[in-house]
A and B are shown apart, each in its own frame.
Chain A
Amino acid sequence: MSDTFKLNIDGQEIEVPKHYTLMQACEEAGAEIPRFCYHERLSVAGNCRMCLVEWEGAPKPIASCAQIVGDMRPNRDGSAPIVRTGGAYVEKARNGVMEFLLINHPLDCPICDQGGECDLQDQAVAYGRSTSRYEENKRAVEDKYMGPLVKTIMTRCIQCTRCVRFVAEVAGVEEMGMISRGENAEITTYLEKSLTSELSGNVIDLCPVGALTSKPYAFNARPWELRKTSSIDVMDAMGAAIRVDAKGDAVMRIMPELNEEVNEEWLSDKSRFVWDGLGRQRLDRPYIRENGKLRAATWGEAFEAVKAALSVGADKIGVVAGDLIEVEQAKAALDLFRSLGVKNTDCRPAGAQYGTSGVREHYLFNPTLMGIEEADALLLIGTNPRVEAAVWNARIRKSWLWGNLKIGLIGEAVDLTYPYEHLGTSAADLDKLTSTDFFKVLKDAKRPMIVVGERALCREDGLKLLETVQRLSQDIGAVTEEWAGFGVLHTAAGRVGALDVGFVPAEGGLATADILGGELSTVVLLGADEADLSKLGNSKVVYVGSHGDAGASRADIVLPSAAYTEMTATYVNTEGRVQMTTRAVQPKGEAREGWAIFRALSAVCGKPLPYDTADQLRALLRGKEGENTVFSGRGYAPGARGAAALSQPVTGVSGTLSASPFEASVVDFYLTNPIARASKTMAECSALASRLDTPVAAE
């Protein structure tokens, strides 16, 4: 028995693997098969019947999405079965299917948000009749409430059940279903409660018609009038591929783009709906605090004020970088402050114990996000991927659901949408790991994966934990030549990039907690709004950032910078993958890109930086021709290439593992950064989630 099967598709002999569906085989042969219900990342439903093809000898047209090639049989004379994807027979079949689909579909394309990017619209043009023969009343369906993100116009629904399958299979919360039957069938959530998934926005993309559309985007724009820009998301450390759709000066919506290695084609709700935060609470000009109040100032005034604030002596200055900092800004700021002799620079959260050893692999997510699909055992330590990297959590679920992944968790016992073995809540429980059954699972696994949450490394025992886990990964054979099974899952998009440019305390410098402790005269915050600013005391605060948030309200001088959709900037995701955003709209008002602010400031301070354009800066980062630096390659994750470095032991370790439980790193999934906190949509989601007391909110 061979594993392949010969088919004759449209007169062309083709050999495909037996597990292929007929649809895949037809596409392999170059034919285009229309479909509504079929989606390659969901289970096969076979209920829209749009993908009908002709199989010579079969009594009826075949739904190609549900026909496995291996189940087909050759012709009587032994020749390959003949399949036709066009011709009168197929066209008539599809025409009939389309006519039935349109019987109850309203003719409201002119007021439908899906208009212009609607599968049904496109396919009706290609396969439908020019007019309707239906003279009865169309059915009407009540609209359903599904929360603040998904708007429903259920009369448009064609019952493809893509959304139901997505929510059950990928998002892992069974909250949507099809109730009643026949003509009365309706898609709904249970008793119209809102969806609690942090991936719920994806049903909008999946819906082939305009039944599920984006609530915040409703009636705001038409797809053909939007300027589409491919970019990178910064809401979490995954760096998902996104497309920023802008009209004029405003970002109108954010959609996922396909990046098989990072986000597949999904996007978390925070990344998708945060765009209204880009238009609110913006810092659009410099401010200087006078008599307790911020007053608008010019750049010149602001720079003079900063220069004055920086004239206190290098050891009295501290710089803290925030979660969303781009590599260019981190590099320019670091270059400037180092040239001023400042040692107190840090990009890590208070208490962080990692990132100073010089071994990049010790803070990267080495197994790569896609690696979870090859892994057969996963140990999560002090992390909750459901809120820290929602899309990756769906991928863990995928590996568990379709593969044979076994998962263990040390940390807070939360609903991760898949079952796991709960092995403890604190770092000290790692010592007991060897006596558990799961240790045997890890040891026997071919490709075990150990993931430590960044937050778990920001405790007193952080370094000890890192060392313990590094040793553990060696013990269980997680690090081999082609597999680097140990990684740190970061929560901030800018962290790894800033670490890569060396934004850590110089020899003898202070770390975040001490910089913010009130001892220094001047503290520069680079969008550091998540850090605890309450102990700053009398320090003079210079805030560089895009949104008026915690940092700006404490600041004495505010320098407005561009947000991630307003600049072409480099971000390094948690895997160490160097990616770039693209400018979709102009920065607000007088705001400038972060690196340009520090370039200008360096001239004011009399220590001009050696680059005048972002390209020169990036060239510096990339290094000379042929030189291999972190930034010389773009778009790929180092993965197993770092296995050798990963074997280096963690040094400078002392103390023991603490028995106090790991704390949640993300208190509110929807409000983790200044942009999200400026967003009305996110505020609504957050309020709803905390009221529902769903796992997402409770964590």
Chain B
Amino acid sequence: MALRRFDLEAGGESFAFKPETEDKIAFWRGKYPADKQRSAVIPLLWLAQKDNNGWLSEPAMREVADRLEMPYIRVYEVATFYTMFRLQPVGKFHIQLCGTTPCQLRGAEDLKEVCKREIGKQMYVTDDKRLSWEEVECLGACVNAPMVQINDDYYEDLTPDSFAQIIGRLKNGVEVAPGPQIDRVNSAPEGGAKTLTDAALFDGSRNAISKLPNLPEPAAEASAEATGKPDAGAPTNVKREEPTAGKATLIDTTSKPEATKDGMSAPKDKKD
């Protein structure tokens, strides 16, 4: 993390929230009592960043401070503490590239090379003001590593090729679909499900379990002479509550019809 300073030149002289943001500001401020309004500083900075083309300018920060009646330095401290507040201009599409271990192991280094080749160094904004990128810490989509976040959307399961393609499309204003860039739905396995595919698992046909482990044996069977077994001594834990059939919580469609009320019981069709 490099030194973080406001780009005062690019920030200009003034900033105003968009009219439609006012509702959101009121929402966040409404969460805090009148004498604790400064608690809303982070959401407000975030809204200001959104209204300022993805970065927080010094006038925008001052606007937040003025609204919350905070000294500028107190807001400045917050804005510089959190790296998601960007103090320099970014492109229309700002790429946050995850470089944390899982993504790194899955090829984030290669994606970085793509960024450097296609855009330039970190936080550099292309001449057409469309693109910029930075490396960030884990964005919590490790299962789809490697991934990037472009503005508000995740683009996952990237390869250098597919990533370069996305960048190319963004450059030229062609729409890109967010999400995994390979044949998979969300975090589901590539090419469809590979386990738990047996339909019987889901139609309830396997629910009629006749016998549960650890239930007391029926008395008749116990009377049978068990040769070779060690002598049954006194149980070590006599206070233990013996599970009984009536108390068992197994899914037993025959004995618990009333349990359907709570929606936890077996499918209805099992009754037939």
Instruction: Please list the residues of chain A having a beta carbon within 8 angstroms of any beta carbon in chain B.
Output: 142, 174-182, 184, 189-191
- Residues of B close to A190: CB separation below 8 A: 71-73, 76
Task: Please determine whether B6 and A177 come into contact, CB atoms closer than 8 angstroms.
Answer: no
- For residue B3, CB closer than 8 A to chain A, the reply is yes
| Contact residue among A142, A178, A184, A191 (Cβ-Cβ distance under 8 Å from B77) | A178
Chain B residues lying within 8 Å of A174, measured Cβ to Cβ, are 71, 73-74
B81 with A181: CB separation less than 8 A: yes
Q: Chain A interface secondary structure, helix, strand, loop or mixed?
A: mixed
> Does the CB pair A180–B3 fall under 8 Å?
yes
Contacts of A191 in B (CB 8 A): 6, 8, 58, 72, 76
Q: How far is the CA of A178 from the CA of B74 in the complex (A)?
A: 9
Check B1 for interface membership: any CB of A closer than 8 A. yes
CB distance from B159 to the nearest CB of A (A): 33
* Interface residue from B1, B8, B58, B76 paired with A179 (Cβ < 8 Å): B76
> B4 in the interface, Cβ–Cβ < 8 Å?
yes
Task: Kindly name the residue among A142, A176, A177, A178 whose own CB sees the greatest number of chain B CB atoms within 10 A.
Answer: A177
B80 located at the interface, meaning its Cβ lies under 8 Å from any Cβ of chain A in the complex: yes
Q: Which one of B4, B6, B71 contacts A180 once the chains associate, using CB atoms below 8 Å? A: B4
Query: Which has the most chain B C-beta neighbours within 10 Å: A175, A176, A179?
Result: A179
Query: CA–CA, A178 to B81, complex, Å?
Result: 9
- Please, how many angstroms separate the alpha-carbon atoms of A180 and B87 in the complex? 12
Which residues of chain B come closer than 8 Å to A142, judged between CB atoms? 3
Alpha-carbon gap, A142 to B3, bound state (A): 10
| A678 CB → nearest B CB, Å | 34
| Residues A177 and B77 in contact, CB atoms below 8 Å apart | yes
- Are A184 and B72 within 8 A (Cβ)? no
Q: Is there contact, CB below 8 Å, between B73 and A177? A: yes
For the complex, what is the distance from the CA of A191 to the CA of B8, rounded to whole Å? 10
Considering only residues 1-25 of chain B, those with a C-beta below 8 Å from chain A are 1, 3-4, 6, 8
Given A179-B77, A182-B1, 15 new contacts (CB under 8 A): A142-B3, A174-B71, A174-B73, A174-B74, A175-B73, A177-B74, A179-B4, A179-B80, A179-B81, A180-B4, A180-B81, A184-B3, A190-B76, A191-B58, A191-B72
Give how many B residues have a beta carbon under 8 Å from the other chain's beta carbons: 14
> Nearest chain-A residue to B71 (Cβ)?
A174
Instruction: Give A190 Cβ to nearest chain B Cβ, in Å.
Output: 4
Contacting residue for A189 out of B4, B58, B73, B74, CB 8 A: B73
Of all chain B residues, the one with the shortest Cβ separation from A142 is B3
Q: Are B71 and A184 in contact (CB under 8 A)?
A: no
Cβ contact within 8 Å between B76 and A177: yes
A176 to B73, CA, bound (A): 6
Residue of B nearest to A179 (CB): B80
Query: Residues of A contacting B1 with CB < 8 Å?
Result: 182, 184
A-B complex: 8 closest residue pairs judged by Cβ atoms: A174-B71, A177-B73, A179-B80, A190-B73, A177-B77, A180-B80, A190-B72, A181-B81
Residue in chain B with minimal CB distance to A141: B3
Q: Which residues of A contact B6 (CB under 8 A)?
A: 191
A181 to B6, CA, bound (A): 15
Cα separation A175 to B81 with both chains bound (whole Å) = 17
B73 pairs with A184, CB closer than 8 A: no
Complex CA–CA separation, A179 to B77 (angstroms): 5
When distances are taken between beta carbons in the complex, the residues of chain A under 8 Å from B81 are 179-181
CA A191 to CA B7, docked complex, whole Å: 11
Question: Which residue on A lies nearest to B83, using beta carbons?
Answer: A181
A179 CA / B72 CA spacing, docked (Å)? 12
What are 5 sample pairs from A and B whose C-beta atoms fall under 8 A apart? A180-B80, A181-B81, A182-B1, A190-B73, A191-B72
| Partner pick for A184 among B4, B8, B58, B74, CB 8 A cutoff | B4
- Assembly CA distance A533 to B72 (angstroms): 45
Closest partner residue, chain A, to B8 (CB atom): A191
